[in-house]
Structure 1
Amino acid sequence: MDARKHLPLNALRAFEAVGRLGRMTLAANELGVTHAAISRKIRQLESLLGVKLLSGPKNRLGLTEAGRTLVGLLAPAFNQIEAAVCAVVDKEAGIVNVSCLATFMMRWLIPRLYQFNSTHELVEVRLSASDQPISFERELYDIAIRVDDHRLPEGAHVTKLFPELVGPVVSPMLLQGSDLAQPADLGELPLLCSKTRPQAWQAWAYHLKTRVPGQPAKMFEHIYFMLEAATAGLGACIAPWPLVIDDIAAGRLVAPFGFAPSGLNYVAARKGNRSRKAEEFCEWLAQEAKSTPVPS
């Protein structure tokens, strides 16, 4: 079992897929084999290791303690193998894998991505949404776009995109008949917030040295849902400028009291492997950020 030539790679791959996806049928579909083939590989692996990896009835199999331990080790190992293959293949394929904050991706990056595609036709940008700390050693990303209060990978090349400015935004239809002369008047409107930034109103009020206009009436699971609710006229919310720039330009939202620095920055962290494609994408990001108008 110590020699690499005895490693049952196909069986390990089948088991990792079952552990990750939770069902043999899904694992079989992912690997392009039959349910019976997956079941056979796992039985072979259990026999070889001398431990049970799965338990329970056939229609509700679960991982044993040994199975959970093995899956936890196999998942990053297969990610590293895939990363090693991609490092070779991507030189020809022109692929840049980008991990990005979900709302920033939807509201700022994707609406501008066509400009990069038009000048880099041979480069494919693959986007994945995440707000978790990134590890270039364990994950398959070339670039991670984050706010710099996140822990950034050691040794990464970090490109600052722009400072985060935040302020209250509201749909014009909700302002009809309202007179917002000062920030405290926002208390006349329903206040929205998100679980990802539950203290947004307090932080904004602190930076402006004013009082919070009231308690949020509605809490949303994600900032994207909160912004959609504000656009639909359900209330006012604190929003980062880059996420609402297009809505304000189109008149879907207004910012009655402008925006103030939050003290954070949007950044692009790049793996330090000198990938020219990743460098070009970061250079384009920086140029787009520079051309993004900043509210006065």
Structure 2
Amino acid sequence: HLTAPSPPLTALRAFEAFARHGSMTAAAAELCVTHGAVSRQVRLLQDTLAVQLVSGSRRRLELTPAGTQLASRLSAAFRTIQGAVSAVRADDRRVIEISCLGTLAMKWVIPRLERFLAAHPDVLVRLPESYAPADFRRHRYDGAIRIVPDGEAVPGAEATPFMLQHQGPVLAPHLIDPARPSDVLAGLPRLYASTFPEAWPLWSTLTGIALPPAPVEREFAHNHSMIEAAVAGMGVAIAPWAFVAPDIASGRLVAPFDFARRPSRFVFLRPLDRPDAAVDAFRDWLVAEGAASPPPPTPSTSPAAETAPAPPPAAGRSNPAG
């Protein structure tokens, strides 16, 4: 009997990358080749198998049922190959890739990461930055850290909440008058991140603190840029507690008002079909670290307190104003 020729590995690799990304351009970027090279490899694979794997116009190619079936099995096979190669390297430590919100990685995960690495010396952790929805079909990372609304399911993922989400205003210490802290809400530029532009209105709703019109609004691409702008005195920012806790502890920022509990959580996501002891260990470590993280402090001042009469001086003490 004649045996059908096996398709080239490069063609299988190009097709699998296209199927994950849903884009020839993205697949080409991952493989460091041209868009045309990926397209030619996909056509070669179809010709070799005599099966149509993609359909549609050049700009809107989609997988056929046969293409979907093949892509799923190829992704699993390439993961197996990657694991086999990693297992025989001179450095036999397991490398896990955890897609993470950039500011959370810098301000919360990395300052704690040494504790995980010390407990698991056989595991290396990579933290590529991403704010996009986690899609384990298109991306090969082993897990992802995202903010997920309470009660919302993430298709194709096991979701493990590990920390509540609080958000509040912060600013440089020299910008605030302790006697009139609410002046910062009306008198200073208001900073926000484009990744969550509704942060200020939501905080106002959750706390019941009315926001006067901002004299200036300044937008930043990410929270970490906005936080550094606040440290530099460019205005009052609105940020998650987990992102600013180190700067408040060090005195770079102050938080004059409440941090409101948002109806969302920091969640660890992992694909449903990929058992992995190293990823399990990282997930469990996140849960433990989240439980040990201190909650935001209760502010010493509030807009309501500014209008209340001052308490009388304590008995036996001199009045410093006298």
- TM-score for the superposition, normalised by structure 2: 0.69
Corresponding position of 1:207: 206
Corresponding position of 1:156: 158
- Cα drift, residue 281 of structure 1: 1.0
Corresponding position of 2:142: 142
Correspondences of 1:164-179 after superposition (within 5 Å): 164-175=165-176, 178-179=177-178
Do the aligned partners of residues 132 and 172 (structure 1) sit closer, same or farther apart at CA in structure 2, a change above 3 Å counting?
same
CA distance in structure 2 between the partners assigned to 1:264 and 1:67 by the alignment: 35
The 3-state SS of whatever aligns with 1:128 is coil
The sequence identity of aligned pairs, in percent, is 34
CA distance in structure 1 between the partners assigned to 2:4 and 2:182 by the alignment: 67
Q: Does the Cα contact within 8 Å between 2:220 and 2:226 map onto a contact in 1?
A: yes
Which one is further off, 14-23 or 273-282? 14-23
- Cα drift, residue 136 of structure 1: 3.1
Q: Which amino acid aligns with 2:135?
A: S
CA distance in structure 2 between the partners assigned to 1:230 and 1:4 by the alignment: 65
- Cα drift, residue 232 of structure 1: 1.4
Does residue 293 in structure 1 map to residue 294 in structure 2? yes
Query: Which ranges of structure 2 fall in alignment gaps of 5 or more residues?
Result: 19-23, 51-56, 298-322
Q: Does the Cα contact within 8 Å between 2:143 and 2:269 map onto a contact in 1?
A: yes
Q: 2:33 aligns with which of 27, 34, 42?
A: 27
Aligned length: 274
Corresponding position of 2:82: 86
Which one is further off, 140-149 or 266-275? 266-275
Does residue 221 in structure 1 map to residue 217 in structure 2? no
C-alpha RMSD of the superposition: 3.9
- Cα drift, residue 76 of structure 1: 8.2
Do the aligned partners of residues 135 and 69 (structure 1) sit closer, same or farther apart at CA in structure 2, a change above 3 Å counting?
closer
Query: Which ranges of structure 1 fall in alignment gaps of 5 or more residues?
Result: 29-36, 50-63
Larger Rg: 2
The 3-state SS of whatever aligns with 1:141 is coil
CA distance in structure 2 between the partners assigned to 1:41 and 1:157 by the alignment: 36
CA distance in structure 1 between the partners assigned to 2:138 and 2:113 by the alignment: 27
Corresponding position of 2:242: 242
CA distance in structure 2 between the partners assigned to 1:210 and 1:253 by the alignment: 21
- TM-score for the superposition, normalised by structure 1: 0.75
Cα shift readout 1:121-160 (whole Å, capped 9, x = no counterpart): 11011212222222334432222211122752435152x2
Q: Does the Cα contact within 8 Å between 1:184 and 1:211 map onto a contact in 2?
A: no
CA distance in structure 1 between the partners assigned to 2:155 and 2:83 by the alignment: 19
The 3-state SS of whatever aligns with 2:132 is coil
